[in-house]
Amino acid sequence: MKNLKFIFLLLLFSCISLGTSDMTQNTEKAYFAGGCFWCMEPPFEVLDGVLEATSGYMGGEIENPTYEQVSMGNTGHAEVVEIEYDPNIITYGELLEVFWRNIDPTALNYQFADVGSQYRTEIFTVGPEQMEEALRSKDELEKSNKFDKPIVTAITEAPVFYIAEEYHQDFYKKQSARYKIYAEASGRKGFLEDTWGDE
């Protein structure tokens, strides 16, 4: 009887382990720099299939940078959002569309009221498929003539992602009044409405 219980427990733990493995395989990550990361979390977190949007830093020269260091513009990092998503529900291509519609891709080393290379736009790709798709989406945007200036958003392979301090995570929820004032005053909201309207 004890042996039967032992075998049952082994089978149970195997099923749990397999289930966890399947869940891990069904999630992927994407990285987008679009200026202030406070403004880049909300448009992704509302999407079906996006499990989490996390603010952080990428593309710089030092390990484990702090916000104070990055905000000085001397480390080479950009403010980035890490998107964890289920590719069975939402595709990388759909994430790219959301990214392009929430930035000014013609602005070099600034986004709206935020100036400096830390606020640049950049797509950090994971693997050759993301790279190919990101390059194709940029080419399609250029050919659409949506903008009368060149698209300057860089596309590079993703380096190490460093998570930003806790007070930056979900800032638009924690400090909603302050966030709304910032989003309006920065010029981002007006630009996006003028550029995309109801599209």
Q: Note the pLDDT tens digit of each residue in 98-107.
A: 999 999 999 9
Main-chain dihedrals φ then ψ at residue 118, nearest 5 degrees: -70, -15
CATH of domain 27-196: 3.30.1060.10
Q: What are phi and psi of 180, to 5 degrees?
A: -65, -40
Rounded to an integer, the average pLDDT of 148-174 is 92
Q: What is the arithmetic mean of pLDDT over 12-40?
A: 70
pLDDT at 25: 53
pLDDT tens for 61-74 read: 999 999 999 999 99
- pLDDT of 177: 85
Residues recognised as catalytic: 36
- Mean pLDDT score, 93-113: 97
Domain ranges (residues) in the chain: 27-196
Indicate the average pLDDT of the chain. 88
**pLDDT the model gives residue 184:** 85
Whole-angstrom distance, CA of residue 46 vs CA of residue 50: 8
Structure tokens at 182: 């910032």
DSSP conformation letters of 110-169:
EETTEESGGG-EEEEE-HHHHHHHHHHHHHHHHHTT--SS----EEEE----EEPPGGGT
* Cβ atoms of residues 79 and 54 within 8 Å: no
Longest dimension (CA), the chain: 77
Across residues 133-151, what is the average pLDDT? 96
The reported pLDDT for the residue numbered 18 is 43
| Residue-wise pLDDT tens digits, 171-183 | 778 888 888 888 8
